[in-house]
Amino acid sequence: MNGAQAILRTLVAGGVEVCFTNPGTSEMHLVAEMDSVPAMRGVLCLFEGVATGAADGYARMAQRPASTLLHLGPGLGNGLANLHNARRAGTPMVNIIGDHATYHERFDAPLQSDIAAMAGTVSKWVGRALTAAQAGALTAEAVGCSLGPAAGDPAGSRIATLILPADVCWSPGASPGAVTPASPASADPDRAEAVAKLLGTQQNCLLLLGGDALLAPGLTAASRVAQATGARLLAEHAPARHERGAGIPHLDRLAYLGQAAAAQLAGTQHLILAGARAPVTFFAYPDSPSDLVPAGCTVHDLGNAATLAQLAELVAPRAKPVAAVDNQAGLPSGELTAQTAAAVLAALLPRHAIVVDEAITSGRFLAAATAGSPRHDWLSLTGGAIGQGMPVATGAAIACPDRPVLNLQADGSAMYTLQALWTQAREGLNVTTVIFHNASYAILGMELRRVGAAGGERSRALLDLPGLDFVHLARGMGVPATRAATADDLAAQLAGVLAEPGPHLIEAMVP
């Protein structure tokens, strides 16, 4: 078999069954072999940032990697921002980057560039096959690497990137590689015991949860620990996936604004990290600390959800978790604002919804409003690179076809990877996008003040987004769309589209 077929067979055997792609000439043999390996689902994206973001969203929900298939350095470049977010999310992913044939490289043809250097900025592992015989084994290594722990990269990347010259794909003599299955994450008894001892002897302890600790088992264990020891609980600022809603313990998330986060952490003498990193401000500000760990507070790294579960057995063997109660509020009426929009969404949030949140400033009321909504998953913008929401929603919908996906989306960031709507239409995905249309990069208006920059008329104009019409934009990609001018509009439209399959978009006009 040729290299392309060996690669696809290796991926599928390793549990990687979706490939988000925008291919080019150098990837044509991999595209052609999708017919001979029907277990691989190819999903066309009209821009590589959609492909990488969709692979991220898929893996956050499926708990196994998707692959991407991208066209040389520029294709990878277009996907880098969402690979950055996926790296920060610790998302497993396998990128296949097509390249010129090995013998073509010396000619420095127009599309040639340093793919490995670019890939290195986001990847845990970068490989390059030189012969068809290597293709299967290297693909297996890439999959195995993405399935393994996020070791070796300070930001926790689980992204493996394999560069595949075209002749490696079209040459014969290849065979599938064998993927080493992932070992389940294991607990660290020493750390569990050390933290147990700490909680038994110290006051003013706070557990900061992140990563896999924000799924239901981790939340349950943390709630039991809190009940038994009096430790406080918080979730990291932007979790890759946070299970929430009625029936599971509720955790507030650490705030974006440094002052607010400092208030949440004030008085903590022992900060215990469970899958989270020590908190820092998102950006630096003049005369403001970057480090959010309170003065005099000691930081302890407990580790993953498995260790957290062990800690709960040690300190809270008989404690019961406190679950959020179902208190889904009624629908508001009248003016549409970020606050009433949040109330509408909370009131109508369907059971088992997947919420993809890139609402930025317009989303500031969402978390509190939905705390008592039916059980759902909340996927956040992990790396701060805007343009993640619509692709992540697309991938999450492919991972979970039976669950409704609700993408809460700011207008400015929607314009980054709007092409995701086309894939949602093409694949018939059950995604409802709510655009919070405030016609500005509102967060930057705030940040301009926070960094102490004066800014006059010309600079303020650079933060305005007049003239966008998301109803037209969505229809241009085959997604039915409506505009909501009042809270009542939003409620009626949202209730309507949630009852229908397939993608929809609602443009919510907010101040």
Q: In the range 343-402, which residues lie near a copy of itself by CB under 8 A? A: 382-385, 387
Within positions 104 to 123, which residues make up the interface with a copy of itself, using CB under 8 A?
104, 107-114, 117-118, 120-122
Using rule CB under 8 A, residue 419 touches a copy of itself: yes
- Which one of 141-149, 261-269, 294-302, 456-464 is the stretch in contact with a copy of itself (CB under 8 A)? 456-464
Query: How many Å apart are CA 373 and CA 331, to the nearest integer?
Result: 13
HSE value, Cβ hemisphere, 13 Å, CA-based, for 315: 27
| Structural contact between residues 187 and 212, judged by C-beta atoms closer than 8 angstroms | no
Q: Which of 495, 349, 499, 473 is nearest to 421 (CA)?
A: 473
CB contact set of 131 (below 8 Å; sequence gap of 6+)? 168, 171, 173
> Closer to a copy of itself at the Cβ: 56 or 310?
56
Interface residue with a copy of itself among 186, 203, 259, 290 (CB under 8 A) is: 290
Q: Which of 245, 390, 206, 429 is nearest to 327 (CA)?
A: 245
Structure tokens at 353: 């919804």
Using rule CB under 8 A, residue 49 touches a copy of itself: yes
> Closer to a copy of itself at the Cβ: 316 or 473?
473
Q: How far is CA 358 from CA 122, 138, 206, 393, 470, in A?
A: 21, 35, 27, 10, 16
Using rule CB under 8 A, residue 24 touches a copy of itself: yes
HSE value, Cβ hemisphere, 13 Å, CA-based, for 490: 32
> Closer to a copy of itself at the Cβ: 335 or 469?
469
> Closer to a copy of itself at the Cβ: 14 or 383?
383
Q: Which of 429, 341, 361, 363 is nearest to 390 (CA)?
A: 429
Q: How far is CA 471 from CA 61, 132, 507, in A?
A: 29, 48, 7
Distance of alpha carbon 164 from the chain centroid = 26
Q: Least separation, in Å, of the C-beta of 355 and a copy of itself?
A: 20
Query: How many Å apart are CA 480 and CA 473, to the nearest integer?
Result: 10
Q: Least separation, in Å, of the C-beta of 178 and a copy of itself?
A: 26
Q: Least separation, in Å, of the C-beta of 234 and a copy of itself?
A: 17
- Interface pattern 168-187 for a copy of itself (x via CB under 8 A): --x-----------------
Using rule CB under 8 A, residue 439 touches a copy of itself: no
For the beta carbon of residue 340, count every other beta carbon within 10 angstroms: 23
Query: How many Å apart are CA 321 and CA 221, to the nearest integer?
Result: 7
Q: Least separation, in Å, of the C-beta of 83 and a copy of itself?
A: 8
Residue corresponding to tokens 């066209």: 71
Interface residue with a copy of itself among 226, 231, 425, 509 (CB under 8 A) is: 425
Q: Least separation, in Å, of the C-beta of 27 and a copy of itself?
A: 9
- Across the beta sheet with 158-165, the strand order is 41-44, 18-21, 66-71, 92-99, 158-165, 125-128
Interface residue with a copy of itself among 178, 194, 465, 498 (CB under 8 A) is: 465
Residue corresponding to tokens 């987004």: 465
- Which one of 10-18, 316-324, 340-348, 467-475 is the stretch in contact with a copy of itself (CB under 8 A)? 467-475
Query: How many Å apart are CA 487 and CA 130, to the nearest integer?
Result: 59
- Which one of 99-107, 240-248, 344-352, 393-401 is the stretch in contact with a copy of itself (CB under 8 A)? 99-107
Q: Least separation, in Å, of the C-beta of 245 and a copy of itself?
A: 25
Using rule CB under 8 A, residue 291 touches a copy of itself: yes
CB contact set of 179 (below 8 Å; sequence gap of 6+)? 10, 13, 14, 15, 140, 143, 144, 147
Interface residue with a copy of itself among 15, 46, 130, 371 (CB under 8 A) is: 46
Interface residue with a copy of itself among 57, 73, 258, 372 (CB under 8 A) is: 73
Q: Least separation, in Å, of the C-beta of 354 and a copy of itself?
A: 22
Using rule CB under 8 A, residue 282 touches a copy of itself: yes
Within positions 470 to 489, which residues make up the interface with a copy of itself, using CB under 8 A?
470-478
Q: Least separation, in Å, of the C-beta of 96 and a copy of itself?
A: 14
Interface residue with a copy of itself among 422, 434, 503, 509 (CB under 8 A) is: 422
Q: Least separation, in Å, of the C-beta of 238 and a copy of itself?
A: 7
- Which one of 180-188, 245-253, 328-336, 441-449 is the stretch in contact with a copy of itself (CB under 8 A)? 441-449
> Closer to a copy of itself at the Cβ: 170 or 217?
170
> Closer to a copy of itself at the Cβ: 402 or 457?
457
Query: How many Å apart are CA 282 and CA 280, to the nearest integer?
Result: 6
Size of the site for a copy of itself (CB under 8 A): 105
Query: How many Å apart are CA 482 and CA 474, to the nearest integer?
Result: 9
Using rule CB under 8 A, residue 47 touches a copy of itself: yes
Interface residue with a copy of itself among 10, 26, 307, 373 (CB under 8 A) is: 26
Within positions 209 to 248, which residues make up the interface with a copy of itself, using CB under 8 A?
238
Q: Least separation, in Å, of the C-beta of 91 and a copy of itself?
A: 14
Interface residue with a copy of itself among 230, 452, 501, 511 (CB under 8 A) is: 452
What are φ and ψ of residue 91, in 5° steps? Answer: -75, 130
HSE value, Cβ hemisphere, 13 Å, CA-based, for 114: 4
Structure tokens at 112: 């040639």
